[in-house]
Amino acid sequence: MARVLVGVKRVIDYAVKIRVKPDHSGVVTDGVKHSMNPFCEIAVEEAVKLKEKKFIKEVVAVSCGPQQVQETIRTALAMGADRGIHVEVSGKDYESLGPLQVSKIMAALAKKEEAKMIILGKQAIDDDCNQTGQMTAALLDWPQGTFASEVAVEGDKVKVKAKKKKIANVKPADLGVDLTSRVEVLRVDEPPQRQAGVKVETVDDLVAKLKEAGTV
């Protein structure tokens, strides 16, 4: 049976209204509620199901970031993951951490842990990149399946209390990963406010309004 790595990302909670920093360098994260990326939750659930069905032997939750990401790892452990790995990234390296850097970390961990499979959420709700899985597969030269809606297997359940499970701390340098970013954020702005729509009664009225707006 195989060992599986599951990526779990700490993101601003989906219910929080995002605010741009005054200097337009990014979004406000201090004092803002964070939680596990919803798509990462799905990945953990599917990995745990595979273990319950005896298809895999161990689920390892991986998260990159500052000390706070251990809360996210603990959530994954409570969901049924066996142990966690916290890749310590902070400061400027964390602010510029992108899909390529995370992919290099995941690929290095897969080799170190002798994992046979990596399960990731299809995207994170903060940057919406949808790139980490594809890049990781390319770095490992592994086959990949994207946007899977279900994994079906059969077997029995095994669970352990989350607090009894271990979280290992490693640094990117321990994995031989350089976090130098190739992407520079120039400016972050809020989208313009959407204008109220106008109701029209007939097709002629619609065409007239479109002409007024200069769209036809």
Q: Per-residue pLDDT tens for 28-49? A: 888 889 999 999 999 999 999 9
**Token pair in block for residue 58:** 């161990």
Of all residues in the chain, what percent are helix, strand and coil, respectively (each to 5)? 35, 15, 50
Q: Per-residue pLDDT tens for 169-206? A: 888 888 888 888 878 778 888 888 888 888 888 998 89
- Kindly compute the dihedral angle of the four CA atoms of residues 167, 35, 32, 62, in this order, to the nearest 10 degrees: 40
pTM: 0.76
- Going from N- to C-terminal start, the domains of the chain cover 2-212
CATH of domain 2-212: 3.40.50.620
Q: Which long-range contacts (CB under 8 A, 24 or more apart) does 26-35 make?
A: 26/95, 26/185, 26/188, 27/188, 34/10, 34/68, 34/71, 34/72, 35/10, 35/11, 35/72, 35/75
Chain centroid offset of residue 216 CA: 41
Mean pLDDT of the region 4-18: 93
